[in-house]
Chains A and B, each alone.
Chain A
Amino acid sequence: MAHTWVGPIGPPRDAQRSRRSNGREEPGRPPVHHRPARHQPHGSDEFSEVFFDDVVVPVDRTLGQEGNGWAVAMDLLPYERSTSLWHRAAFLHRRLQQVVDAAPPGSLDPARLGEVIQHLYAFRARSRATQYRMAAGEELGPETSIDKVLLATSEQAVFDLAADVLTADVMVGDDPDSHRWRTEYLYSRAASIYGGSAEIQRNIIARRLLDLGDDR
């Protein structure tokens, strides 16, 4: 991998906790090391905790002010939400078409399928508008939380439908296609957790878009 994005896994509170855990020095461990977190759908290590022990980082390689990493991450996230989500809609569209193609006769409820299509379509339309705003040089901000909420609900709607329609494949199939449906179904559960959970997004929307103040 040419570039590795190292980001905080939570607000500064968590960073302090991991600094404390760094105090337990293990002899022979390299100064930059990581602890992969195996997660259930893929059995792969998509995320890991990265530790820097006594590592000297040149000042010109830092982003923003020291101790302000959380703020930098918060500024970057809207951009991540804007571009990566565009591809995600195309992927979900392809998978939903495959659900329609593979569905046993009579297994698709037209009302439910129609609603999933509308949701996915609206998510894509929202993402499209965001791409244009970014291309026009507009600064992206809290309104991209709406894009993220739409991604999470669309993705889970598509794979909920897949699990209910291609039940045998997802639950007891052991061929490669079934394995893929199962993996993607399980991974879709993360859509309302990663990149700011569903609750965090709704709090951002409430505070910054609806002017409801803080939640405490």
Chain B
Amino acid sequence: MSRINMGAVAIFLLAGSLPGAAAGAETTAITGAKVYTMGPQGVIEDATIVIENGRISQVGANAQVPAGAEIIDAGGRPVTPGIFDANSYFGVAEVSLVEETVDLFQSGDRYTASFELSEAINPRSTLIPINRIEGVTRAMVAPDANFMPELYTTPITGLGTVIQLGSTSDYVVAKNAALFVKMGETGAALSGGSRGNNVLRLREAFNDARDYAANRNDYDQGERREYSVSKLDLEALVSVLNGRRPLVAEANRASDIEAAMRLAEEFGIRLIIIGGAEAWIVAEQLADARVPVILNPLQNLPTAFELIGSTLENAALLHSAGVEIAFSTGGSHNARNLKQAAGVAVANGLPHDAALAAMTLSPARIYGVDSNYGSLEAGKEADLVIWSGDPLEVTSFADAVYIRGKAVPMESRSTLLFKRYRDLGGDWPPAYIK
């Protein structure tokens, strides 16, 4: 092997991106941290987190630092799991109004439940560094008809995939982890104009899928009645019927949430509500049925008739009723502001630890990826953030971010633009500053 080739290998190793290499093979110990574990250990002061091979091996005040570990002194600063955006368009929309860069919706109804984004995601999107240097490490990437509803003809939006934001290879955490559908005003508009049609279309699709699952052979031999959706879509729907995937239904009006719950009960579906502006009104039913709600804590204006009951206290009321909540504000360019939204929820009655959970452990549980992520516990992947102060405070920022044990470079297109224009008036144009 020539020297040049050896050099190339060395660079790969330094970058930790040699195909097949385990991420973060080195050992790191973060000491002196105020650790919000989000697990049974609660908050631990002056604690150490040991990271080995990308995973947390120890957390606690008495954790032993292995010999040769790189030691990062947190100096009493807070450490939390990385932030998880429960509904995003990371990697499937670069510039929202530039259609060529937007892959998160499709037109027509050739595909409905089977429409998926896992192959469409661009892990090199500029949105990823801009948000991960501020602590966002995981996200559900979901199709969204709201982006351009006039192109849609089906309320069954498609499958969402959970990703991690730390690597351009191996970024898919849970492929096609949930099926998304629209109810309420959008669902009605996509179903022929009425909420009645909306529920009928969903019921028809699930009935077809149920029939299909029981009669696959007959279907393949053309001996079954015609279904409302294609074979691919039926398979995706079956996975929801058999509990392998949850159904994430966008519903905001209390009665729409109740309609979604009736549908879920009818088919024995694991339901998640997204939107949920009036969920507080039906909080007890949601808690009884163990239906989680993904909400935007900032939603408080009656900007649509289905949002009339919107209130900043939604998160607090749902939590106190025992409903599991997760946060998303919908705009992935600024997913970094999820923590601000969480802070607003706290300012309106939500306990601080519940707000943190709604951005970490809860979305992980909702999407079934909590065995590897969501809390700082031994055995889980080391997605964590060292914050300059209270992680929910608007004046705090991420000092260091680890994803799967690897420190992410604290650089983005935005930080480079800032450096370029930090001082105007040089002899040469800014174009020479890189």
Does A associate with B in a complex? no
Residues on A facing B (Cβ under 8 Å): none
Residues on B facing A (Cβ under 8 Å): none
